[in-house]
Amino acid sequence: MQTLNVALGDRAYPIHIGRSLLGRADLILPHLRTRRVAIVTNDTVGPLYLEALSTALAQAGVGVSAVSLPDGEAYKDWETLNRIFDMLLAERCERSTTLIALGGGVVGDMGGFAAACYQRGMPFIQVPTTLLAQVDSSVGGKTAINHPLGKNMIGAFYQPRLVLADIDTLATLPDRELSAGLAEVIKYGLIRDPEFLAWLEQNLERLVARDADALAYAIERSCRNKAEVVAADETEQGERALLNLGHTFGHAIETGLGYGEWLHGEAVAAGTMMAAELSRRLGWLGEAEVARVGALFERARLPVWGPLLGAERYLELMAHDKKVEAGRLRLVLLRELGRAVIHGDAQQTDIAAAIEARCR
């Protein structure tokens, strides 16, 4: 087991990464306020892993309640969130009860937001079971639900007290979900870690083949990058926005197609290609470098072309982005491979041209 620390002062917390961690109640107990937890999971993950986790906790003398949500981004809405509140109230959970999110990014985002809001805030633990959640969404305290007009529009910054990433849970992950997670892994290489990018270019097939050592390394390295950025800029006043490479374009794809059509990581991959293409048009990347990025995504079996929504529609959807400031779109672009920047001066025509060039 490896342990990283997210350095946030009196709200600092550990990330444990390793094998066979789900049954390790001893890792969870020190982070509970009382011996009472409420587990939020979904209908795919629950049947696989809920019993292992809840049995271990029950044997340690912890009272366990649980709720299972329907699986998928399409359910990341208020109605489904309310099922968590219904369970918490029906089971008489208190504000000292700890909410544990057991699942992927959607479960973590919704469980975290429910924990942030229930009785104005209850303790919260992330047990991510997808690659995407283990390398990205479970770390850093961003929680949210979607609004029909924009992804992750309603939410909170709310840090967990512990992230417990059991790599063994990736064994049951569908190929498509594994690939989606790799999009965020590749992202860290592109935005701030050229050495990791080089490692990925050499080892991507090992990750696709689920080589345990390669996965453990990639998860640990990704979490380290994420933890550093979050510690420096918790509420995204600056640097943290760089983690959104490809996300402004990607959110437009997700919202435009309807939540759940594309996986988040798939939209991020295609969106990153648009960001790379725009970076090329600004003279920052060469054609060969854009091709290198595309090759990496293709080796990860990710889409490198966006759906044909029309550039107008993309721009309309992107205007709701949280990084918009004084009406101006602020995009994460690549100054070079391994170094992202925030750019607020791109012309609408250039953005539209980059989108058109990367759709088909």
Annotated binding site for Zn(2+): 184, 247, 264
Whether 142 is catalytic: yes
Query: What is 276-302 written as a DSSP string?
Result: HHHHHHTTSS-HHHHHHHHHHHHHTT-
Residue 33 and residue 95 in contact, taking contact as beta carbons nearer than 8 Å: no
Q: Answer yes or no whether residue 291 interacts with a copy of itself by CB under 8 A.
A: no
Residues ≥6 apart with Cβ < 8 Å to 51: none
Q: Give 5 or 34: the residue with its C-beta nearer to a copy of itself.
A: 34
Q: Give 93 or 102: the residue with its C-beta nearer to a copy of itself.
A: 93
Residue 150 and residue 255 in contact, taking contact as beta carbons nearer than 8 Å: yes
Phi, psi values for residue 337, rounded to 5°: -70, 120
Q: Give 89 or 232: the residue with its C-beta nearer to a copy of itself.
A: 89
Block residue for tokens 């990084």: 323
Q: Give 119 or 203: the residue with its C-beta nearer to a copy of itself.
A: 119
- One of 177, 220, 234, 236 is an active-site residue; which one? 236
Shortest Å distance, C-beta 326 to a copy of itself: 6
- One of 192, 221, 224, 240 is an active-site residue; which one? 240
Q: Which of 5, 20, 235, 347 binds a copy of itself (CB under 8 A)?
A: 235
Alpha helices (H) in 60-104, listed in sequence order? 78-90
223/137 Cα distance (integer angstroms): 10
Question: What mask, x for binding a copy of itself by CB under 8 A, covers residues 100 to 139?
Answer: ----------------xxxxxx------------------
Residue 215 and residue 296 in contact, taking contact as beta carbons nearer than 8 Å: no
- One of 187, 192, 224, 226 is an active-site residue; which one? 226
Whether 236 is catalytic: yes
Block residue for tokens 């020190």: 30
Whether 184 is catalytic: yes
Q: Could you give the count of Cα atoms lying within 13 Å of 200 in the half-sphere of its Cβ? A: 28
Number of neighbouring beta carbons within 10 Å of residue 349: 9
Phi, psi values for residue 15, rounded to 5°: -115, 115
Question: What mask, x for binding a copy of itself by CB under 8 A, covers residues 196 to 215?
Answer: --------------------
Shortest Å distance, C-beta 13 to a copy of itself: 18
Shortest Å distance, C-beta 87 to a copy of itself: 11
User: In this chain, which stretch among 12-20, 49-57, 88-96, 300-308 interacts with a copy of itself, using CB under 8 A?
Assistant: 88-96
8/140 Cα distance (integer angstroms): 10
Whether 152 is catalytic: no
Q: Which of 147, 281, 292, 301 binds a copy of itself (CB under 8 A)?
A: 147
Phi, psi values for residue 194, rounded to 5°: -60, -30
Question: What mask, x for binding a copy of itself by CB under 8 A, covers residues 26 to 65?
Answer: --------x-------------------------------
Residue type, 179: S
Binding residues vs a copy of itself (CB under 8 A): 34, 78, 82, 85-86, 89-90, 92, 94-96, 116-121, 142, 144, 147, 149-150, 153-157, 235, 319-320, 322, 324-327
